[in-house]
Amino acid sequence: MTAPATTTAPGSAPEAAPVPQALYVYGITPAGVRTPRSAGVDGAPVRLLTESGLSAAVSAAPPRLRPRRRDLMAHQSVLDELAAQGPVLPMRFAVLSPRTDALLSQLRSDAAHLTAQLDGVRGCVELNVKGTVVPGHFADLVRRDDRLRTLALRTRRRPDYEANVRLGEAIALGVRREARRAAREVVDRLSPLAVRTVQGATDDEQVLSASFLLRSADEPRFREAVAALARDRGDRLALSVTGPLPCYSFVDPRPAAPAGR
């Protein structure tokens, strides 16, 4: 198809062709889902673009895109409506496509990869488990660690500022070490309950951040296991669970590039 010709008055400059508006992309689903009723980012209505057995939920991209709470909530609400109907490949906030034809072309060229990704998360949810260091866990640690016990006795006999600092640093290091060990034990216990596990970034305080892809029917058993681990290791590690979430951590919207590219 070609765009209709435009006419201009003699001597006047031709009208500029309209610039296609970018699309805000929420996620990709199998074709046939209902259009979400929730308003999208910036209050824009959501629509579906369908190609090759797939649908992309989109809306007009706002002129300025910022992570305001209302827009983050709108993004999530659209994904929740899609997820209630079946598998969805969720896009993170602020994913844009420059034009409708470009997005349809991507759906067409990547159809096999996207369909396989949807099959991989069908009937699944994502739960994220975080673990933070329990700072008060040191009395038992000092009793069990010969080096810490010796350092504590030496500091008690000859207290001074530097000795207290050294003892405090050694205890803090030991507490983090014990918490990290507990975090590894938690992942080892929970991973067999999940289809897949992905570990995220950690730091000195948050020593565990792991996402678990679960069959929906297995969610209650998984939560029970987390609660039991929280009781058993609560002196070293404070556990929390977030979810169910769209399966952000377990989808790759684009296929890997061929080797050498």
Instruction: State yes or no: pLDDT of 141 exceeds 70.
Output: no
pLDDT tens digits, 60-105:
999 888 889 999 999 999 999 999 999 999 999 999 999 999 999 9
Average pLDDT on 149-166 reads 57
Instruction: State yes or no: pLDDT of 135 exceeds 80.
Output: no
pLDDT at 77: 95
Q: Which helix (H) or strand (E) holds 34?
A: none
pLDDT at 152: 54
Contact between 30 and 119 (Cβ < 8 Å): no
pLDDT at 183: 94
Highest mean pLDDT among 14-23, 30-39, 173-182: 30-39
Instruction: State yes or no: pLDDT of 175 exceeds 70.
Output: yes
Instruction: State yes or no: pLDDT of 29 exceeds 60.
Output: yes
Q: Which residue has the higher pLDDT, 141 or 182?
A: 182
The proportion of the chain whose per-residue pLDDT surpasses 90, expressed as a percent, equals 61
Instruction: State yes or no: pLDDT of 259 exceeds 50.
Output: no
Residue 207 burial class via C-beta count within 10 angstroms: exposed 0-12, middle 13-18, buried 19 and up: buried
Q: Which residue has the higher pLDDT, 167 or 204?
A: 204
Contact between 99 and 22 (Cβ < 8 Å): yes
DSSP 8-class letter at 222: H
Which pLDDT band, with edges at 50, 70 and 90, does 255 fall under?
low
- How many angstroms separate the CA atoms of 81 and 242, rounded? 19
One-letter amino acid for residue 17 of the chain: A
End-to-end CA distance of the chain: 33
Q: What is the pTM of this model?
A: 0.75
Residue 60 burial class via C-beta count within 10 angstroms: exposed 0-12, middle 13-18, buried 19 and up: middle
Q: Which helix (H) or strand (E) holds 233?
A: none
pLDDT tens digits, 199-231:
999 888 899 999 999 999 999 999 999 999 999
Q: At what angle do helices 161-190 and 219-232 cross, to 10 degrees?
A: 150
Average pLDDT on 242-247 reads 91
- How many angstroms separate the CA atoms of 220 and 208, rounded? 21
Over the chain, what is the mean pLDDT? Answer: 83
